[in-house]
Amino acid sequence: MTALDLSSPVAVVGTGTMGQGIAQVALVAGHPVRLYDAVDGRAGEAADAIGARLDRLVQKDRLTGAERDAARARLTSAESLDALADCALVVEAVVERLDVKQELFRALEDVVGDDCLLATNTSSLSVTAVGGALRVPGRFVGLHFFNPAPLLPLVEVVSGFATDPASATRAYETARAWGKTPVTCADTPGFVVNRVARPFYAEALAVHELRAADPATIDAVLRESGGFRMGAFELTDLIGQDVNESVTHSVWQAFFQDVRFTPSLAQRRLVESGRLGRKSGQGWYDYRDGAERPGPHTAPPAEAPAYVVVEGDLGPAAELVGLIREAGVEVRPEDGYGAGRIVLPDGGTLCLTDGELPGSEDLVHFDLALDYRAATRIALSASESVRPGLLSGATGLFQALGKEVSVVGDVPGMIVARTVARIIDLAFDAVARGVATPEDVDTAMRLGVNYPLGPFEWNRRLGDTWARDLLSHIHEWEPSGRCAPSLALHRHAAAADAREGTPS
């Protein structure tokens, strides 16, 4: 099954931001495109708006004048659904209400031929449910574009329970012919991206609700240590707090209130107060004229130790040994058992967070970094009873490496580590349940939400037992089940233990 021929007309129903974006993608690819909207005059306005965007593409040398003129000639607005009768593909981008979408597709079935591919751009509803009332449900698929559709490459091609494999393949190949990067997935709540991405927001909100760090500090640590493009609070302000919470609530409800997807009370209060983010002028941050953006908590300068003792293997933080040497701090290596640690001259110990609470007055945890050399900030955590001077020594060591230091509360797994571990866990769970392949999950998370690594890439880098062990420790301290490792992750880690001869 191949992509639709470029001579085949494509229709887009619903001409808001997403509908216009999808229409532009199909139009620039070379298809005749027809726009329809139930509101009189809206389709014509959308056609004008798309034409203006084509003009801007010419100004940016991304289209020639001739290509623009040809595209404009292929774009028409339809006065009724009857005008879509000969279309080979109809993509719906109307309001996210099941009854509205079902009514639309029932009406479309009375108009288009039985070989016309019908697609929904829904991000939160069941593709199976939307297409369930159709006479020919096998030709119905999900084509979930990401906003802005002309710029973002990812398209999730979603097969409902009744979708014919040939229809899914045609939709996949068509999206690829349009210059997109499609991934295939089963019809489960959140598909791939909105399912696997929930911990990125949830763990930031959990750390904030536990008063371990403020939003600006959490965002800075996620960006400058975790390597994420944006922090969770600034990203939800950009998306819209109401939109982000709605997706979280939808996924949670669709999974029968699975504790792993529980919405945040703090975000609920923000939405109830009308602080929806950039679009309302206030969210976690204040975007009104003259408002000052709060900075992250950054520790004051401290003195670096003259030397450190490194016992054992630091695992994902092993790169720190070379960085410490390069900073002029003497490193005295010693053999050690279990997790590696850095010992300061006064006997205080620094360890990469393992999901346990620091507990001891002689222990400081540091957070995971995507790349310790490139990281510009490191988070530290210690118990309230930490020995005076130990935090200062730990701070001075990381400052000697050229890092800003943020001291946060003693939350198990800190910020980056618990976030990455939970993303890895949900990715393994999704694959085990047949949602998508590991390769498609990695592609979706890198292209759909700009993660620096896909979850399976992260797992390979961190080690096959790292996420399970960290989440198991967090679960001991927070036994709600929200952070408990999935069966899929347990199985994967147990297999790794067996290969290495380690009791699991």
**Which sequence positions are flagged as catalytic?**
123, 144, 156, 194
Of 357, 346, 354, the C-alpha closest to 387 is 346
Closest CA to 458 of 484, 428, 482, 496: 428
- The single residue listed with the structure tokens 């346990």 is 356
Q: Sign of torsion, CA 204 209 210 215?
A: positive
Which DSSP string do the residues of 149-168 spell out, in sequence order?
TTT--EEEEEE-TT--HHHH
Alpha carbons 184 and 192: distance in angstroms, whole number: 9
Taking Cα atoms as reference points, which of 75, 85, 81, 98 lies closest to residue 23? Answer: 75
Between helix 466-477 and helix 416-432 the angle, nearest 10°, is 110
Least Cα distance to 185 among 462, 437, 443 occurs for 437
The structure tokens listed for 447 are 């292209």
Nearest to 449 by CA among 166, 213, 154, 191: 154
List the one residue out of 365, 220, 410 whose CA is nearest residue 297: 220
Closest CA to 117 of 81, 83, 92: 92
Return the residue matching tokens 């974006």: 21
For strand 181-186 and strand 140-145, is the pairing parallel, antiparallel, or unpaired? Answer: unpaired
Phi, psi of 218 (to 5 degrees): -60, -45
SS3 content of the chain, % helix, strand, coil (to 5): 45, 15, 40
SS3 62: coil
Q: What's the start-to-end Cα distance of the chain, in Å?
A: 46
Beta bridge mates, 286 = 282
Helices 487-500 & 466-477 angle (0-180, nearest 10): 130
Q: Which amino acid is at 89?
A: L
User: What's the one-letter identity of residue 196?
Assistant: V
Single-letter amino acid, residue 176: R
